[in-house]
Chain A
Amino acid sequence: AQSVTQPDIHITVSEGASLELRCNYSYGATPYLFWYVQSPGQGLQLLLKYFSGDTLVQGIKGFEAEFKRSQSSFNLRKPSVHWSDAAEYFCAVGNPNNAGNMLTFGGGTRLMVKP
């Protein structure tokens, strides 16, 4: 069974500082990988996704993520955080062999940004 772990429940960074949110997955082969962001009381917005190819993926809002097969990781990064980036971030994996492409979500990381 696939699973996702986001080790950090809360992270606080200063505005303008760099950010890295960790995501580790468990799956027998290369899964589909996603990062979503959720503002309070809102649905989820897709930041970026990885299916195959280049392991460094660029997303919206200046985010990027790198797939590292050897570490079973898909960490999200941003070089300079803005106050508007404060939100909940979810990493998710999808099974390429599942006809429904069900997503399994990590527990989420809440990002707080200090002025």
Chain B
Amino acid sequence: GAVVSQHPSRVICKSGTSVKIECRSLDFQATTMFWYRQFPKQSLMLMATSNEGSKATYEQGVEKDKFLINHASLTLSTLTVTSAHPEDSSFYICSARRGTNTDTQYFGPGTRLTVL
């Protein structure tokens, strides 16, 4: 149990376009989902925390108008990179957590975004 999927796994787009990444919890309801960004050979940096039905909480330095997060249901959160630029190229990973604060985050396989 506790499987998280992401779609697409890899996307290449032109500069200026918007890209949507989906994160789904397949076999549990995720009250909270997290979005991380990982640059090559670096660690994961939390971008934002989203709770179902409410606005996402963004980490300092993350532009909320640039990275739109929607947590429309207990099994789906989406990250939209608006007007993408080459510096947005990165590996984006989501995680999902079941209800309690003591529970574990389960990670998706990641989405590789390349902006040309």
**Chain A interface (Cβ < 8 Å from any Cβ of B):** 32, 34, 36, 41-46, 49, 51, 90, 96, 98-108
Contacts and interface: CB of A to CB of B under 8 A. Distances in A.
Interface of B: 4, 6, 32, 34, 42-46, 49, 51, 57, 91, 93, 95, 97, 101-110, 112
A102 B36 CA distance: 11
B107 A96 contact: no
Q: For chain A, what secondary structure do more than half of its interface residues adopt (helix, strand, loop), or is it mixed?
A: loop
A100 B44 contact: no
Contacts of B102: 32, 51, 96, 101
B44 A90 contact: yes
A41 B112 contact: yes
A44 B104 contact: no
Contacts, number: 58
Nearest to A99: B101
A90 B43 contact: yes
B104 A46 contact: yes
Among all A-B residue pairs, the 5 with the closest Cβ atoms: A44-B107, A43-B109, A43-B107, A100-B49, A105-B43
15 contacts: A42-B109, A43-B93, A43-B109, A44-B93, A44-B107, A45-B107, A51-B102, A90-B43, A90-B44, A98-B101, A101-B32, A101-B101, A102-B34, A103-B34, A107-B43
A105 B44 contact: yes
A99 B32 CA distance: 10
Given A42-B110, A43-B93, A103 B43 contact: no
A44 B43 CA distance: 11
A49 B46 CA distance: 19
Contacts of B91: 41
Nearest to A49: B104
A103 B105 contact: yes
